[in-house]
Amino acid sequence: MQRPFYITTPIYYVNDRPHIGHAYTTIAADLLVRYQKLTGRETFFLTGTDEHGTKIAEAAEKAGVEPKAFCDQVVQHFKKSWQNLLVSYDGFIRTTDQKHINSVRKLLTILNDARTESGEPIIYSGTYEGLYCTACEKFLTERELVDGVCPDHKIPPTVLKEKNYFFRLSAYLDKLKKLIETDQLMIRPQERRREVLGLFEQGLTDFSASREKVKWGIPLPYDSSQVAYVWIEALSNYISGIGYGDDEDQFDKWWRNAETVHLMAKDILKFHCIWWPAMLMAAGLPIPDKIFLHGYFTVDGEKMSKTLGNQIDPNDMIEQFGPDATRYLLQTQYPFGADGDIQKSRFVAKYNSDLANDLGNLVSRVAKMIMASFDGKLPKPAESLDGGDEIIAEAEKLPETVMAHINKFKILAAIEAVLGLVRTANRFFDTNAPWKLVKNGSPDKAGGVLYICAEAIRIIATLISPVMPSKSLEILGVLGLGDEALSLDNARTFYYLEPGCKIKIKGSVFPRLKDEKKKDKTEKKIIDNNLLDTSEFARAEMVVAEVISAERVEGADRLLKLQIDIGSEKRQIVAGVAQFYTPEEITGKKIVVVKNLKPAKIRGVESNGILLAAKKGKKLCLVVPEGDLPPGAAIN
RNA sequence: GGCGGUGUAGCUCAGUUGGUUAGAGCAGCGGAAUCAUAAUCCGCGUGUCCGGGGUUCAAGUCCCUGCACCGCUACCA
């Protein structure tokens, strides 16, 4: 008997609607769990939402509702999206659920009482020092500051200390490192595992376990003036969602006795691969078995961004391709785990070649011929068909091949293996040409060809069902089967279909799509939102300037410090062009600068203005006046 | 600059612990067939496996080095 299988996605922060990134991870998890289910394994799939924190509280206030009510609304978008994408989770944990809160409080209590092997408390009190904006009532990172002031309130933050509890991560580092090295905590892909091990070399410090100033959160059981730190709270969802502190039997089953897998994108590597196992060790709980971190994708070679207008909305894809093909297309763009590029132009081509031409057409030609030549009844198998033994062998071997890939998270390889059988079946159909056999008076032989193809289709539909759950059922329906047929065991055995069973097909399973480009609509929308008033544009005072001298800024490889002449005066600016221009090259050039920009300090160097340059990918060019104009000439 | 990654056919990528003539899909060209969603099937690729060293009987596959690119990170007003 196999161990039960437990898989999670991260919980998603509800300050955002679900986007393609969320969808990608969640579809992958759903697909992996469905494959496990095919083998007959008991499975549990947990996803959910992260709903605490200052940002949420603020967003709720803006919307004029209580935080909880605000979250309730956003959560519906997530649930709806997952439903639309055929994601079938077993648990949906919200960090505002009472059972989550209870669970976190239990964990915190245990951690607070626990001691390290050398007898030190795991949780200790310390001070956190940071930049605090009194108007926001929150700590800001240096990165968030604009010109050294709070971007919202334009006031400088004060350096403030607050009491925090800390988690003694340092006590677990050696042990944890060994667990990772020995794969007892299996981190995949390998490059991510190396990255984690690299973090140990770079030094890891204890982290905050609580915050004092945050209000929307879970108060510590032992100090109600503090709230559990976001990562402590969020990571706990993986156990609160399966009964920790609530239903011990369930927790035993899914955490202590199951194979536990966390799936996520690589950005949250440190928290999951280091903090989370350390917390569990401190609490005396088992660590997860596997952590898989998939990569990031770009769209048409560029990072997704609103200004580029190259985002992919899962809902748009569903509208164009349907939920099954959307899942298929997203998972076949590049290998799972690696970084990759999604090219929208490939969607239609891939859909047509794989799904319409190969799979859909196979189903169609086989079913229609059975209907036309065999009265819609599945004919009997026949002997000695050209390539018959080979296709049967390939089909019977396929379940093992597919699962071997899936168990290594090689989703693309698994899918391609299934598609291989589709191609074999089309080839088999062609070489035996049953339509000729019918005409030549060998209907039995023709029937045998069709029987083998029908069986291949059944096995294909079963093995692709985790990727395309509803389309697979539609295909099985053509063969007169339902979801009871969906199991790996059934896929392993040929001659499952009874000769004589009714075969019927209505339309096309995957109708061919026209390859046309009609995305102008969305592009226009984005431009409209960005329209400027003439007066707004005029606020930027641009002038021609001459570079008098230039030098590199020490310790920064992108920065040049420029002394420039703007006619009325000489001033200094800092520009991020060092990778494209040497100081010598840029000296003497006439450039365009915005002169009425707030002064700023960059890398400790004062900058009074910004120069104009055009950049695309790896190329950057200064914007220069086409003719000869003196410094100070205004640009309108 | 630090850490990590990548570099194989026009494009997207496979190439397992080093071992025979380096593969697949897509696109392209030519042909066959007409059951089927103008879908399918067959044939066609001498690719400096980024460059340079090295280890080895043997390297796309290991080691060193250089270059290019990507991600995170610091700095990009």
The enclosing domain of A584 has a CATH number of 2.40.50.140
Would the Cβ of A507 be found within 7 angstroms of any atom in strand B?
no
User: Integer distance in angstroms from CA A297 to C1' B12?
Assistant: 14
DSSP A574-625: EES-TTT--HHHHTT-EEEEE-SSPPEEETTEEE--EE-EEEETTEEEE---
Please state the rounded mean pLDDT for residues A535-563: 75
Element (H, E) at A225: strand A223-228
Would you say residue A360 has pLDDT above 90? yes
Answer whether residue A325 is part of any domain: no
Of A254 and A384, the one with more pLDDT: A254
- pLDDT, tens digit (0-9, with 9 covering 90-100), for A554-578: 666 677 888 888 888 888 888 877 7
Answer whether residue A13 is part of any domain: yes
Determine if the peptide bond prior to A189 is cis (ω within 30°). yes
Same domain? For A113 and A167 the reply is: yes
HSE-up of A156 (CA within 13 Å, CB side)?
4
Would you say residue A419 has pLDDT above 60? yes
Answer for the pair A147, A155: CB distance below 8 angstroms, yes or no. Answer: no
- Work out the pLDDT band at A532, boundaries 50, 70, 90: very low
Same domain? For A475 and A542 the reply is: no
Residue type, A501: C
User: Integer distance in angstroms from CA A146 to C1' B75?
Assistant: 15
Cα dist. A277→A105, A282, A289 in Å?
18, 9, 10
For residue A194 the two structure tokens come to 């190396």
What's the pLDDT score for residue A324? 95
Answer whether residue A299 is part of any domain: no
Same domain? For A169 and A206 the reply is: yes
Catalytic residue among A68, A80, A161, A303: A303
The total of structural domains in chain A comes to 3
Catalytic residue among A306, A368, A524, A570: A306
Domain holding A82: CATH number? 3.40.50.620
Would the Cβ of A337 be found within 7 angstroms of any atom in strand B?
no
Strand B proximal residues, A:181-240, Cβ < 7 Å: 191, 194-195, 198, 202
| Cα–Cα dist A387/A433, whole Å | 12
Would you say residue A362 has pLDDT above 90? yes
Answer whether residue A242 is part of any domain: yes
- Work out the pLDDT band at A470, boundaries 50, 70, 90: very high
Q: Which percentage of chain A shows pLDDT scores above 90?
A: 45
What's the pLDDT score for residue A426? 95
Same domain? For A170 and A282 the reply is: yes
Same domain? For A405 and A549 the reply is: no
- pLDDT, tens digit (0-9, with 9 covering 90-100), for A128-140: 777 776 666 666 6
* Strand B bases within 7 angstroms of protein beta carbons: 1-6, 12-14, 24-27, 33-42, 68-72, 74-77
**Is A150 among the catalytic positions?**
yes
Would you say residue A89 has pLDDT above 70? yes
Would you say residue A381 has pLDDT above 80? yes
Domain holding A484: CATH number? 1.10.730.10
Answer whether residue A241 is part of any domain: yes
Same domain? For A62 and A17 the reply is: yes
Boundaries of domain holding A580? 520-635
Catalytic residue among A37, A100, A136, A262: A136
Same domain? For A370 and A415 the reply is: yes
Same domain? For A283 and A398 the reply is: no
Answer whether residue A509 is part of any domain: no
Q: What ipTM was predicted for this assembly?
A: 0.84
- pLDDT, tens digit (0-9, with 9 covering 90-100), for A296-314: 777 766 666 555 556 677 8
What's the pLDDT score for residue A477? 97
- The sign of the dihedral angle between the CA atoms of A27, A29, A31, A33 is negative
Same domain? For A87 and A158 the reply is: yes
Answer whether residue A376 is part of any domain: yes
- The sign of the dihedral angle between the CA atoms of A491, A493, A495, A498 is negative
Same domain? For A61 and A126 the reply is: yes
Same domain? For A245 and A117 the reply is: yes
Same domain? For A90 and A206 the reply is: yes
